[in-house]
């Protein structure tokens, strides 16, 4: 198995973990304040990150790495959780899953703009086709229109794509575990007091089911999933491995059907097969990458 293929498989594991984020967020925000859920999950994950960094005696990042970590933190620790949690307070997880389906294209764009990756024309055609299928599904499912909460979801996409691209590149020199761990620890001084204030103001009384949802997005969505995801991006390239995310909406749909009982019909599977075909085509398209940055 070459590095690129290994990166694709690691990326797929990360996507599978991320795919349950919206259903479990939906469960949590039904009883807890959405911003409290978004920031609180980062605080919990930051505690685990600090312990991990101490356990492995991780070296401190350099000045340039701190800057990249700040961008990563802004995107995946703050931006995506806040915007997606707010959206899940108003729309079903299945709706959010489809809108976030444009994330692979956004990630590829950030990879090209920030780090000089040069996907071929065939790759962009496949990426646009996949995103077009996903957006078409969103309009079809929404009766020809988009919900106001979609604005929050689109903001979540931009934030995640920025954090994915920055963190994926940084993982080439630091490793995926250290990237997400340092990004979480970096955010702790700001997020901890805000989270305490939100908990004091809005309360933390909720059912065990809501706390299970919160636990999943804290430990898996915000922490463990990034071990696989950033390593995959580092090995296989931001643009190429990012296309695995095209499968995430349909994995989320399956999760929403099992966990939340949301409807899932034949059309969902037809769209899923179309997206899988596009991913297969994009997998074979050429991408010119800069030399990996090694520590």
Tabulate helix, strand, coil % of the chain (nearest 5). 80, 0, 15
Give the whole-angstrom CA distance, residue 152 versus residue 161: 14
CA atoms within 13 A on the CB side of 293: 15
What DSSP element (H or E) covers 250? Answer: helix 248-259
R_g of the chain, CA atoms, integer Å: 18
Count other Cβ atoms within 10 Å, centred on residue 45.
Answer: 28
Give the whole-angstrom CA distance, residue 132 versus residue 114: 24
Phi first, then psi, for residue 206 (nearest 5°) are -160, 165
Give the whole-angstrom CA distance, residue 147 versus residue 22: 16
pLDDT given at position 142 = 64
- Tell me, what DSSP letter sits at residue 32? S
- Each residue's pLDDT tens digit, 58-87: 899 988 899 999 999 999 999 999 999 998
Q: State the pLDDT confidence band at 292, using cuts at 50, 70 and 90.
A: very low
pLDDT given at position 71 = 93
pLDDT given at position 73 = 94
- Tell me, what DSSP letter sits at residue 288? E
pLDDT given at position 218 = 95
pLDDT given at position 293 = 46
- Each residue's pLDDT tens digit, 90-114: 888 877 877 777 787 788 778 776 7
- Each residue's pLDDT tens digit, 2-58: 888 888 899 999 999 999 999 999 999 999 999 999 999 999 999 999 999 999 898
**Of 292, 291, 287, 288, residue with least CA distance to 234:** 292
**Highest mean pLDDT: which range of 13-17, 266-270, 278-282:** 13-17
Q: Taking CA 269 as the corner, what is the angle to CA 220 and CA 102, rounded to the nearest 5 degrees?
A: 55
Q: How far is CA 70 from the centre of its chain?
A: 17
Q: Are 39 and 198 in contact (CB under 8 A)?
A: yes
Give the whole-angstrom CA distance, residue 96 versus residue 29: 14
Tokens for 81, please give them.
């959780």
* Greatest distance between any 2 Cα atoms in the chain: 53
Q: Enter the pTM of the model.
A: 0.82
- Each residue's pLDDT tens digit, 181-211: 999 999 999 999 999 999 999 999 999 999 9
Residue 47: exposure state from Cβ atoms within 10 A (0-12, 13-18, ≥19): middle
Q: Is the pLDDT of residue 265 over 70?
A: yes
């Amino acid at each position: 198995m070459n590095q690129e293929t290994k990166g694709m498989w690691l990326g797929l594991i990360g996507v599978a973990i991320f795919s349950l984020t919206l259903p479990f967020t939906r469960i949590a925000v039904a009883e807890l304040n959405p911003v409290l859920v978004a920031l609180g999950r980062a605080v919990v994950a930051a505690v685990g990150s600090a312990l991990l960094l101490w356990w492995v005696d991780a070296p401190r990042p350099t000045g340039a790495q701190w800057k990249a970590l700040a961008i990563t933190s802004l995107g995946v620790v703050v931006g995506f959780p806040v915007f997606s949690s707010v959206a899940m307070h108003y729309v079903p997880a299945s709706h959010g899953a489809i809108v976030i389906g444009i994330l692979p294209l956004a990630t590829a764009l950030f990879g090209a703009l920030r780090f000089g990756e040069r996907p071929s024309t065939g790759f962009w055609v496949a990426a646009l086709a996949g995103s077009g299928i996903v957006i078409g599904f969103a309009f079809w499912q929404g009766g020809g229109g988009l919900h106001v909460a979609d604005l929050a979801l689109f903001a979540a996409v931009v934030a995640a794509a920025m954090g994915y691209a920055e963190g994926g590149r940084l993982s080439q020199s630091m490793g995926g575990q250290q990237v997400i761990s340092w990004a979480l620890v970096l955010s702790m001084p700001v997020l901890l007091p805000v989270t305490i204030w939100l908990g004091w103001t809005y309360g933390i009384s909720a059912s065990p089911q809501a706390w299970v949802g919160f636990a999943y997005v804290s430990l898996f969505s915000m922490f463990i999933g990034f071990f696989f995801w950033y390593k995959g991006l580092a090995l296989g390239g931001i643009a190429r491995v990012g296309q695995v995310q095209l499968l995430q909406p349909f994995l989320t749909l399956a999760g929403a059907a099992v966990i939340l009982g949301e409807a899932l019909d034949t059309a969902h599977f037809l769209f899923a097969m179309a997206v899988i075909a596009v991913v297969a085509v994009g997998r074979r398209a050429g991408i010119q990458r800069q030399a990996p940055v090694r520590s």
